[in-house]
Amino acid sequence: MTYTSVLIIHLFCAIIFIGFVFADTVILPAMKKVLNEQEYQKIMQVISNRARKVFPFALLVLVITGGFMVSKFINSSLGYFSSNLQLLLMLKIFFALLIVCGVIYSLLMRILKKTPHPRMKHFHKFVLINGIFIIILAKLMFVV
DSSP characters over the chain: -HHHHHHHHHHHHHHHHHHHHHIIIIIHHHHTTTS-HHHHHHHHHHHHHHHHHHHHHHHHHHHHHHHHHHHHHSBTTTBSSSSHHHHHHHHHHHHHHHHHHHHHHHHHHHHTT-PPPGGGGGHHHHHHHHHHHHHHHHHHTTT-
Examine the pLDDT at 144 and tell me if it is beyond 90: no
pLDDT, mean of residues 39-55: 89
Instruction: Report pTM.
Output: 0.86
Q: For the chain, give the mean pLDDT.
A: 92
pLDDT, mean of residues 45-49: 89
Examine the pLDDT at 58 and tell me if it is beyond 90: yes
Distance CA 4, CA 7 (A): 5
pLDDT digit string (tens) for 60-94?
999 999 999 999 988 878 778 889 999 999 999 99
Question: Residue 80 to residues 88, 133, 134: CA-CA distances in angstroms?
Answer: 11, 20, 18
